[in-house]
């Protein structure tokens, strides 16, 4: 069942896969939150683990950076490994001074400057959105845990260093934060008939200039991780 990017076997992944961008964050989650985690994929160092959380089989695997990367891994998980739900658990740059470092936001939709959806040959502009059941379940979990999780639009950008310096124009349209993967994940889920959701922890704030370092991004997003894992448990029967 191996693909060019994944040497796991069919059945190695759970129904729900959590996808951080960073392979080291995948390893951190597996070792600190899952019971009996097993490394099931390590092609190109993109670590994928499967273990249990509260008795439910859950997997966590890195997506790498950018839409082409998550497009590959999510497509293979959905079509080759029987995965039903993928939740991106990434970092994002806030576009409002109301959002603080480590706050968690959920992407109901994902605006983008990418041409990723052009491959489908649609006669218009596709609007990438999260699966409602997945989103509703996650919002419920956040409320139960006492986590204030704003829900709205993300901007999935193809560029990190934006020469046009136009990123903040999206803020005028109510976009919460910018990241680099959600739109491709939502498109892939729609195309394959599966479920996707992106929740992101704020790693930096474009307005205030605050930011976390690489180690803090890897290890300190524990609130997001707990929301994601509890959501995975609830999605097992949906």
Distance CA 16, CA 92 (A): 22
162 confidence band (pLDDT: 50, 70, 90): confident
Which domains does the chain possess?
16-235 (3.40.50.1580)
Specify the pLDDT at position 166: 80
pLDDT of residue 1: 65
Can you state the percent helix, strand and coil of the chain, rounding each to 5? Answer: 35, 30, 35
Q: Decide if 204 is catalytic.
A: yes
pTM score of the predicted model: 0.95
Helices assigned H by DSSP within 4-131 = 23-33, 67-80
Catalytic residue (one of 12, 158, 162, 204): 204
Q: What's residue 214's pLDDT?
A: 79
Average pLDDT over the chain, rounded to whole? 94
Residue 215's pLDDT band (boundaries 50, 70, 90)? confident
Q: What is the pLDDT of residues 58-116, one digit of tens each?
A: 999 999 999 999 999 999 999 999 999 999 999 999 999 999 999 999 999 999 999 99
Angle at 142 between CA 95 and CA 64, to 5 degrees: 55
Judge whether 167 and 111 are in contact, CB under 8 Å. Answer: no
Query: What is the model's pLDDT at position 216?
Result: 80
Lowest mean pLDDT among 107-116, 156-165, 189-198, 199-208: 156-165
Q: Reply yes or no on whether the pLDDT at 220 is more than 80.
A: no
Look up residue 145 and give its DSSP letter.
T
């Amino acid at each position: 069942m191996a693909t060019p990017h994944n040497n796991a076997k069919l059945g190695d992944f759970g129904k729900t896969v959590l996808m951080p961008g960073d392979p080291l964050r995948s390893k951190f989650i597996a070792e600190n939150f899952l019971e009996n985690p097993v490394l099931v994929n390590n092609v190109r160092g993109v670590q994928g683990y499967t273990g249990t959380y509260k008795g439910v089989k859950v997997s966590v695997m890195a997506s790498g950076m950018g839409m082409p990367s998550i497009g590959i891994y999510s497509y293979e998980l959905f079509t080759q490994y029987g995965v039903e739900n993928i939740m991106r658990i990434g970092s994002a740059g806030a576009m409002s001074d109301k959002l603080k470092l480590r706050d968690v936001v959920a992407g109901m939709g994902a605006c983008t400057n990418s041409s990723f959806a052009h491959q489908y040959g649609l006669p218009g502009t596709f609007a990438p959105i999260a699966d409602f059941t997945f989103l509703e379940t996650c919002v419920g979990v956040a409320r139960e845990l006492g986590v204030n999780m704003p829900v709205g639009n993300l901007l999935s950008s193809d560029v990190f260093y934006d020469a046009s310096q136009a990123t903040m124009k999206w803020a005028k349209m109510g976009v919460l934060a910018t990241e680099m993967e959600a739109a491709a994940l939502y498109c892939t889920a729609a195309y394959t008939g599966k479920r996707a959701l992106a929740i992101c922890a704020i790693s930096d704030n474009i307005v205030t200039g605050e930011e976390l370092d690489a180690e803090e991004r890897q290890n300190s997003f524990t609130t997001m991780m707990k929301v994601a894992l509890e959501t995975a448990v609830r999605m097992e029967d949906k």
